[in-house]
Amino acid sequence: MTLSFSEDTEREASLFAAIKLLSETEVEVGLPPSAGGHLSFILAIQEHGSPIMRIPPRPVIRPALSQPAVRKSMAEALVSAAESAFEGNAPAVTAAFETAGQAGADGIRSYIDSGISPPNSPVTVSGGWIYNRVAKTGVPVSGKGFNKPLYRTGALYNAFSYEVKKK
């Protein structure tokens, strides 16, 4: 009886590299830093509200990413990343993280499309006069013409994205 043993060092190296990539990579979903300070400010006001500007809080990122369908699609992509890592396929690991990030960004936009409570006030939709408490005078306001919270120019809506990066 003869026993032979051979090492596949190339496979072993690719396996360790893919597992290391998996453990050192993360995906961030939401408003990336490249969106700029103006959109970050607008998102912060929308998320937390502003009593001075009479804007009610309309959280969007956490509720959107908490939806079962979004969580499921992101989890499936991350499971795929883990499976690819244990096969030693580093490019597939990165692609799976990209898929998870895209699912999250699409989930946020889908959440906004489905309508966020509370709806815009009638003055916001059709325009009119509001009382400016600071200037103590009435101010004319032009309306948006539609009742879709968190969507006016589309800049914030289109800025939601993801970033795959090293920890």
pLDDT attached to residue 156: 86
What is the DSSP track for 53-67?
A: TTB-----HHHHHTS
- Summarize pLDDT for 76-107 with one digit per residue, the tens: 999 999 999 988 899 999 999 999 999 999 99
* Selection from 84, 100, 82, 83 nearest residue 92 by Cα: 84
Cβ-proximal residues to 135 (8 Å cutoff; 6+ apart), any chain: none
Ranking 141-145, 148-152, 162-166 by mean pLDDT, the lowest is: 148-152
Exposure string of 122-156, with b = 16+ CB inside 10 Å and e = fewer, is: eebeeeeeeeeeeeeeeeeeeeeeeebbbbeeeeb
Question: Would you list the domain boundaries of the chain?
Answer: 14-166
Q: How many CA atoms lie within 13 A of 71 on its CB side?
A: 7
pLDDT average, residue stretch 41-56: 86
Please state, for a pLDDT cut of 70, what percent of the chain lies above it.
Answer: 90
pLDDT attached to residue 5: 62
User: What's the CA gap between 165 and 15, in Å, rounded?
Assistant: 20
* CB-based contact 100:84 (threshold 8 Å): no
- Summarize pLDDT for 99-129 with one digit per residue, the tens: 999 999 999 999 988 887 777 777 777 777 7
